[in-house]
Amino acid sequence: MNNQRNFFFNVDWITVFIFMALCIIGWFNIHAAVFDERHPFIFDFATNYGKQFLFIMIAFILAIVILLLESRMITTLAPAFYGITIFLLIIVLVIGKNVGGNQAWLSLGGGFRLQPSEFAKFATCLLLARYLSQSNIKITDTKSFLTALAIIGLPMFLILRQPDMGSTLVFYSLIFVLYREGLSANYLIISILFIVLFLASILYPPLYVIAAISVLTFLLIIILRKNKRLITTLLLGLVICVAFIFSVKFIYNKVLQPHQKVRIDIVLGIKSDLRGKGYNVNQSKIAIGSGKLWGKGYLHGTQTKYSFVPAQSTDFIFCTIGEEWGFAGSVIVLGLYLFLVLRIIFIAERQRSSLSRIYGYGVASVLFFHVAINIATTIGLAPVIGIPLPFISYGGSSLINFTMLLFVLLKFDSNRLGIV
């Protein structure tokens, strides 16, 4: 049998094992989170845990199909995948179903829904990798950089219109892909600076922030007084920072949704609303803390079992792990995620094809962002923005999207001695 067509050949089975382990962990924790004594059987398709089993089976079948496909076919279809997801993102704004304040879902009937923003992550990573891997493209060139930003920015804009801030922010993680491909570290520094300015402008009066930035700028000018070009850059940067600081009030009041502003205020300690918008996070921390070292045991979690934690099978599924598995179980799950991200980066770095390497870093960036922000949310270190925990949270769209992201990379990797 031709090794190129044998999907068992050269597949990274370590990664496959981690994928399967996370899927099974998710399935059992969904069962524990929304357990119904009237439907105790974990395969009961009338329940969310029964439906999740179907989603897992679909994901497994999809994984096998992807490994059977030709790598060239996948990369050739990258623009088509991207175009279809952009079309669906437009359609969902017109006929989509509003769930939790976001018009992000297309109804498929039978209680099943499709979330196009999840698939946009896969399509964007694939098209971005295809574009940046072209021999005449250099991320340091202005035209190439702006085109890459457009590929990332178009789905971001459409998802923001839903408005789904969580999924929008996920695309921001792709800046690490651009950085790996040669983008100046200055862009990362500038991005971090603007995040700090945004938060500072919320916590303190704008004039105080401007005064602090101005003092710091003039101190640098004194130190670098002989470098006229750098002084000009610093002064221009000061003007841009001042303009940004004054625009924060508009962004905060006009762009963010009311519930998003309250969640940011709670995380920053501006407000305390344990019975309102802060209820989710407060109950989440109680559930995780109550698990202590070894947890309460499977199906013995009182906080999650009696629905004290909202969205306990989706965005707050980590609460169930913390309560029933304790600190030890939480460390195991976090360890699996850490090993998976590092394994993906290892796989990306061993690729002979630049397309495969770039795509691998896209997968690692999206996966890491999801895990870091989801868990930070459940323990109160980040505002609630509503993104799922990969492979573990309930939902078919998320599971299938991450399966596609991961197994397309494994397909590229299995063919790394050839040409993708």
Model confidence pLDDT, tens digit, residues 51-60: 999 999 999 9
H-helix or E-strand containing 107?
A: strand 102-109
Q: Which helix (H) or strand (E) holds 307?
A: none
- Residues 308-366: tens digit of each pLDDT: 677 677 888 888 898 889 899 999 999 999 999 999 999 999 988 899 999 999 999 99
Could you tell me which residues are beta bridge partners of residue 105? 97
The phi, psi pair for 114, rounded to 5°, reads: -115, 135
Same domain? For 174 and 306 the reply is yes
Residues 243 and 334 in one domain: no
Integer Cα distance of 180 and 191 in angstroms: 16
Confidence at residue 420, expressed as pLDDT on a 0 to 100 scale: 45
Whether residues 55 and 100 share a domain: the answer is yes
How many structural domains comprise the chain? 2
In this prediction, the residues of the chain whose per-residue pLDDT falls under 50 are 1-4, 419-420
3-state helix, strand, coil in the chain (%, to 5): 70, 5, 30
Give the CA diameter of the chain. Answer: 78
Instruction: With respect to residue 265, please indicate whether it lies within any of the assigned structural domains.
Output: no
What's the pLDDT at 45? Answer: 80
Tokens 């962990």 correspond to what residue? 25
> Could you tell me if 307 and 366 lie in one domain?
yes
Domain-embedded: residue 263: no
Is the distance from CB of 326 to CB of 307 less than 8 angstroms?
no
Query: In terms of domains, do 231 and 287 share one?
Result: no
In the prediction, which pLDDT does 352 show? 87
Q: Does residue 30 belong to any structural domain of this protein?
A: yes
d(C-alpha 269, C-alpha 261), whole Å: 12
Q: Can you name the residues that pair with 114 across neighbouring β-strands?
A: 106
Residues 172 and 232 in one domain: no
Integer angstrom CA distances of residue 352 from 92, 348, 419: 39, 9, 8
Q: How far apart are CA 274 and CA 361, in angstroms?
A: 39
Does residue 155 sit in the same domain as residue 240? no
pLDDT (0 to 100) of residue 360:
95
Q: How far is CA 13 from CA 24, 74, 364, 411, in A?
A: 16, 21, 17, 12
Shared domain for 165 and 252, answered yes or no, is: no
Claim to verify: residue 348 and residue 383 sit in the same structural domain: yes
Residue 376 burial (10 A CB sphere; 0-12, 13-18, 19+): middle
Can you give the residue range of the structural domain that contains 367?
Answer: 3-185+278-414
CA torsion through residues 380, 384, 385, 391, sign: positive
- Give the span between the Cα atoms of 207 and 218, in whole angstroms: 16
Quick check: is 267 in a domain? no
CA gap 42, 146 in Å, rounded = 49
pLDDT of residue 307: 64
- In a shared domain, residues 70 and 214: no
Q: Tell whether 53 is covered by a domain.
A: yes
Supply the pLDDT for residue 411: 93
Domain for residue 63, yes or no?
yes
Q: Is residue 419 assigned to a domain? A: no
**259-270 pLDDT, tens per residue?**
667 667 666 666
Rounded-to-integer distance, Cα 193 and Cα 359, Å: 27
Closest CA to 29 of 313, 245, 333, 282: 313
Residues 6+ apart with CB under 8 A from 327: 291, 292, 293, 294
Whether residues 291 and 378 fall in one domain: yes
- ∠ CA(122), CA(148), CA(361), 5° rounding? 50
